[in-house]
Amino acid sequence: MDQPFESDFLVIGSGIAGLHFALRVAERGRVAIVTKKHAAETATNYAQGGIAAVVDGEDSFEAHIEDTLYAGAGLCNEEVVRFVVENGPRAIEGLLKWGVEFDRTSANSSGSPYDLGREGGHSQRRILHHRDATGHEIERALLARIEAHPNITLFENHCAVDLLTAHRAGRTEPDRAIGAYVLDAAQGNVTRFIAPITLLATGGAGKVYLYTSNPDIASGDGMAMAYRAGASVANMEFMQFHPTCLFHPEAKSFLISEAVRGEGATLRNADGESFMTRYHEMGDLAPRDVVARAIDSELKQSGEDCVYLDITHQQSSFIRERFPTISQRCLEYGIDMAQEGVPVVPAAHYCCGGVRTNLQGETDLPNLFAAGEVSCTGVHGANRLASNSLLEALVFADAAADEAVRRVSQLPPCGEIQSWQHGDTIESNDAVVITQNWDEIRRFMWNYVGIVRTDRRLQRAARRIDLLQEEINHYYWNFRITPPLLELRNLATISDLIIQAALHRKESRGLHYNLDYPERNDSDFRRETLLQRGVPPRSAPAQN
């Protein structure tokens, strides 16, 4: 029988949320972090634009709150927005304490030391950044601390399969989280990671779409695991499409930061027209849902493959200095940003929905916390304001850490838990089933459940996902599990949740646009969409 790994805190995921939480709670107990690839392979590591926070005397909490509420299209929880925004400066202090460096300038009239960027939907310059590789800098600094910490053990290439709960362990007490079954990808063994407190920090689900800015890890595992364990999942219909991903046959998932538009770049169609002013008074800096839909509409009208992002009004020295990663990558594809427009298209970028949490970051499964993109805290509503996600991840990882530390010593022991049973499953010799199903899901999600939806397309997608889920479940129960099979199973669950939520919302709002109901309907749908296993989708007032 395998030996379980026991700790006080189990953290699943090594992006900003997981690492920040781990560093905070490690002062009070032993922490295990499991992460399914190399530790730095996270969305955090690819974040470009930066982190929004009020750190400038000419800015205000009220302005940041108002911008967030406006972008969220009537669905943000105002109390949560205020909580996140007002904790912004403290969150930045936390990052500075871990050794993160942000770009500075002496040119601000307000006296703020930081070089602040601007992005869509922000009325002020308020984005702290490290050139155009802010996430890489954050991941670097946090991982260095984690690796040096005596109370933290990091398990790379360990993929969480499912949550352990009291009920799953066969007990009749009120249910609670007590860890997770985790697959060691190299050995093929499933180990019990047992802990009285578990944090889900598994990031987003962009890989459910054919085109995405997300790294391969973003297969929605945490959301799917929480749903299977009985926790509520909210607002899955709101998938954010980033307007500007590089359009090039060899470029996989490469983002062109919105900060480029923040420095004056404009979107042009194939006729050279700077078209965004036709769609919104904020022009190129309109909220993301508006810009992505505008590009989609331009492309559908013209039949072209892409639009162009033009920053040629800036000096090439400025472009190289401010956007070194982006300009270098473009050059590798033969595109000189200083001389020509960059071909761009929208791609799936951020999941505004996720596992429902309260203000302490706790889900409705006791002792299961969630922070970062896996969660739905109420801050983003129907459309996330740019650069609010790193901020939200930090603030909620902090809140969860405070509550977890307060509670951990009072919790009863986790008790005996059965080891993983492989049963009579066999090795699969038909891996093509996985790639075929994976491709099929991502393609119909893109075509039927994308930027512009209709009921008929959603129903088509619903029929397909039902069939595929049946096939995938059969495969899951009969063959030895592997990381690709686990991810496929989770992708199918997430697709199903997105489709169910999208069919439930009979209106258009924020990121959910349905041609059959093109108007916003505040009287019936100014509510969250809640999904819980075994219960039909329902609307509920945003609460905390």
Binding site for ligand FAD (CB under 6 A): 12-18, 34-37, 41-44, 46-51, 134-135, 159-160, 201-204, 213-214, 217, 221, 255, 350, 372-374, 387-390, 393
Binding mask 225-264 for ligand SIN (x = CB under 6 A): --------------------------------xxx-----
Closest CB 513 distance from ligand FAD, rounded Å: 21
* The two structure tokens encoding residue 542: 């945003």
Contact assessment for residue 384 and residue 353, using Cβ atoms and an 8 Å cutoff? no
- The site map against ligand SIN for 373-392 (x = CB under 6 A) is -------------xx-x---
- Residue pointed to by tokens 């509550």: 403
Q: Which does 143 bind (CB under 5 to 8 A by kind): ligand FAD, ligand SIN, none?
A: none
Read off the amino acid at residue 475.
Y
CB nearer ligand FAD, residue 246 or residue 445: 246
The one of ligand FAD, ligand SIN, none whose footprint includes residue 44, by CB under 5 to 8 A per kind, is ligand FAD
Locate 362 and state its tokens: 């706790």
- What does residue 244 show for φ and ψ, rounded to 5 degrees? -125, 85
Nearest CA to 473 out of 460, 485, 482, 458 is that of 485
- Report the site for ligand SIN in 15-74 (rule: CB under 6 A): 48-49
Min dist. Cβ of residue 413 to ligand SIN (A) = 41
Q: Using the 8-state DSSP alphabet, how is residue 341 labeled?
A: P
Separation of alpha carbons 71 and 279, rounded Å: 15
Return the bridge partners of 539, or none: 529
What 8-state DSSP symbol labels residue 246? E
CB nearer ligand FAD, residue 135 or residue 341: 135
Q: Specify whether the CB–CB gap between 13 and 154 falls below 8 A.
A: no
Q: Residues 471 to 530: which contact ligand SIN by CB under 6 A?
A: none
Phi, psi at 104, each rounded to 5°: -120, 165
Q: Which amino acid is at 48?
A: Q
Could you tell me the smallest distance in angstroms from the CB atom of residue 24 to ligand SIN?
23
Shortest Å distance, C-beta 495 to ligand SIN: 22
Number of residues that bind ligand SIN (CB under 6 A): 9
In whole angstroms, the minimum distance from the beta carbon of 438 to ligand SIN comes to 25
Active site residues: 288
* Neighbour count for residue 413 (Cβ, 10 Å): 9
Asked if residue 24 lies in contact with residue 399, where contact means CB atoms within 8 angstroms, the answer is: no
> Please, is 350 exposed, middle or buried when counting C-beta atoms within 10 Å of its C-beta (0-12, 13-18, 19+)?
buried
Q: What angle do CA 444, 445, 450 make, to 5 degrees?
A: 120
Kindly identify the residues of this chain, within the stretch 340-379, that bind ligand SIN according to CB under 6 A.
350
Kindly state the smallest distance separating residue 203's Cβ from ligand SIN, in Å. 13
- Which of 486, 478, 471 lies closest to 433 in space, CA to CA? 471
Helix or strand or coil: residue 258?
coil
Place of tokens 């005397």: 57
CA dihedral 19, 22, 26, 28 (to 10 degrees): 150
Residue 211 Cβ vs ligand FAD, minimum distance, rounded to whole Å:
12
C-beta of 344 vs 503, nearer to ligand FAD = 344
Nearest to 181 by CA among 146, 218, 229, 147: 229
Distance of closest approach, residue 302 Cβ to ligand FAD, in angstroms: 27
H/E/C letters for each residue in 374-415? CEECCCCCCCCCCCCHHHHHHHHHHHHHHHHHHHHCCCCCCC
Partner touching 217 among ligand SIN, ligand FAD, none, CB below 5 to 8 Å by kind? ligand FAD
What are the distances in angstroms from CA 72 to CA 238, 378, 383, 453? Answer: 10, 10, 5, 19
User: What residue has token string 């296993």?
Assistant: 533
Q: Is 133 in the site for ligand SIN (CB under 6 A)?
A: no
Residue 350: CB minimum distance to ligand SIN, A: 6
Q: Give the separation between CA 302 and CA 142, rounded to whole angstroms.
A: 46
Q: Contact at 8 Å (CB) between 145 and 312?
A: no
Q: Between 222 and 461, whose beta carbon lies closer to ligand FAD?
A: 222
* Residues found near ligand SIN in the complex (CB under 6 A): 48-49, 257-259, 350, 386-387, 389
